[in-house]
Amino acid sequence: MPSLRLLVSAIAIAVLVVGMHFDADPTAAAKTEAGKVVAFAKNQVTKPYKWGATGLRRYDCSGLVYRTFKETGLLNKIGGTRKTSRGYYRWFRDRGLITRNPKKGDLVVWGKTRVTHIGIFIGYNSNGKPLAISSLYKGVSKHKVHAMNIPLKAYLRVKISR
């Protein structure tokens, strides 16, 4: 007869396994377009930086944005092609899609006089600070929007379901 400890361990493992989600695609569980964007971007965290790279193993900042929207089937929502961070900023600016109130899945651009970096807005931390995912020289990371060495330039409103 199995020991009580062994039985409890088996039940605990069964409960964990039943509660797990085994989809190969982390975006499959996301119900909204914004949820898919954020899920894909989070799955890229820790991947290394390489200038000009568009994934899936390495990224630069605009390459991460491009690949995230391509993989989620939403590339047309950000202009349909790969652009530089400045190119994405111009595309959104020319369509009047600059905002001060970001929503999950919107883009974030940084720069002093001109745009030099881009990332994806993923929400707020427990202290109400805005968070983004972007590819910096150390690789893809989640970070505070205002923790960059360069100032926030704008949030770019992506017209997707939230």
Domain segments of the chain: what residues? 30-156
Confidence grade of residue 28 (pLDDT, cut at 50, 70, 90): low
Query: How many secondary structure helices (H) and strands (E) does the chain include?
Result: 4, 6
Asked whether the predicted pLDDT for residue 160 surpasses 90, the reply is yes
Confidence grade of residue 21 (pLDDT, cut at 50, 70, 90): very low
Q: What is the DSSP letter of 47?
A: P
- The third-level CATH classification (topology) of the domain covering 30-156 is endopeptidase fold (from Nostoc punctiforme) (3.90.1720)
**What is residue 18's predicted lDDT score, i.e. its pLDDT?**
37
Q: How far is CA 13 from each of CA 10, 79, 120, rounded to the nearest angstrom?
A: 5, 46, 36
Asked whether the predicted pLDDT for residue 67 surpasses 70, the reply is yes
Q: What's the predicted TM-score (pTM) here?
A: 0.83
Give the mean model confidence (pLDDT) for residues 128-142.
97
Contact 104, 123 (CB under 8 A): yes
Q: What percent of the chain has pLDDT over 70?
A: 82
- The closest alpha carbon to 92, from 34, 21, 102, belongs to 102
